[in-house]
Structure 1
Amino acid sequence: MSRHLLVAMDDSEPARTALNYALSAFPESKVTVVHVVDDLEAGYGGGPTAEAARDQDEPAFFADVRRLAEGHAGDVALEVLEGTPVDAILEYVRSNDVDGVVVGSEGRSGVSRMLLGSVAEGVARRVEVPVTIV
């Protein structure tokens, strides 16, 4: 039975580690790598707008994703979503028959986690499929 996994991706080492894990642990699976353009962050000048993301073909780090995915027996798809990361990931999972989510985490704890929040934690608490946090 083939699985469909979603790997949440940004331009960080924990995200690359999560992708490497998904590709090696599930070599026959379909993997969809999603990058979310955060509308809220863009609105406050912290990142590109969704419009700018649509105008460029794809994030520059997707070249790294393609390189990491070479040799993977299953399909690897790349998607750019817009919205807040947790909500966009949840919506994608609900709408696309995803069997599991793999996401990287920087391993924050205590006060820094409470103040800064965590996409990995938000997805793990709210999504209805298994989540692997790497």
Structure 2
Amino acid sequence: MYDELLLPADGSPAVEAALPHALGLAELYDATIHVLYVADTDRDSLSVIGGEVYDALEQEGISVVDELVERIEARGIDCIGTVAQGGPREGIIEYVEENDIDAVVMATHGRHGVERLLLGSVTEHVVRTSPVPVLTVRVTE
């Protein structure tokens, strides 16, 4: 039923609320977890350091994904980590469609505070537009 699960990660503590649910489903269904970090290209994140172009969001994404993949694989669960660029809303849905994802597990909010209020929640968008079931996990302060 659920062979491929997607766990979007944005580097916020909210992913910690969704992670146990993704792990539980993966263990129950012997599923692979895909960890996806979308480096938001709508935000300015490029710097030049020592003549090299450095994308802070992409580097953060690599760190976040690597840490989660390591934790998931330590539980004996197959895991694929990906850092993509683009808008998080569209990037998550695109990843679902291109990777035959069976379900998405994500928190109800991340770290975008006022921006979330002004532009709308990434989770809300995914729930409304996802072609697969979305398990949302409420994060309390």
For this structure pair, what is the TM-score category when the shorter chain's length is used for normalisation?
Answer: 0.7 to 0.9
Of residues 77, 93, 97, the one that matches 1:94 is 97
Partner of 2:9: 9
Deviation at 1:20, TM superposition (A): 2.3
Query: With structure 1 as the length reference, what TM-score do the two structures score?
Result: 0.77
1:40 aligns with 2:26: no
1:120 aligns with 2:130: no
1:76 aligns with 2:110: no
Of residues 100, 103, 107, the one that matches 1:104 is 107
Deviation at 1:54, TM superposition (A): 9.3
- On the 8 A contact 2:38/2:61 being kept in 1, the answer is no
1:25 aligns with 2:28: no
- On the 8 A contact 2:93/2:126 being kept in 1, the answer is yes
Classify the secondary structure of the residue corresponding to 1:41.
coil
**Unmatched 5+ residue regions in structure 1?**
none
- On the 8 A contact 2:11/2:60 being kept in 1, the answer is no
**Unmatched 5+ residue regions in structure 2?**
48-53
Equivalences for residues 44-59 of structure 1 within 5 A: 47=45, 52=55, 56=59, 59=62
Sequence identity percentage: 34
Letter of the 1:118 partner, please give it. S
Deviation at 1:106, TM superposition (A): 3.2
- Note closer, same or farther for the CA distance 1:2–1:74 as it changes in structure 2 (3 Å cut): farther
Query: With structure 2 as the length reference, what TM-score do the two structures score?
Result: 0.74
Counting matched residue pairs gives 126
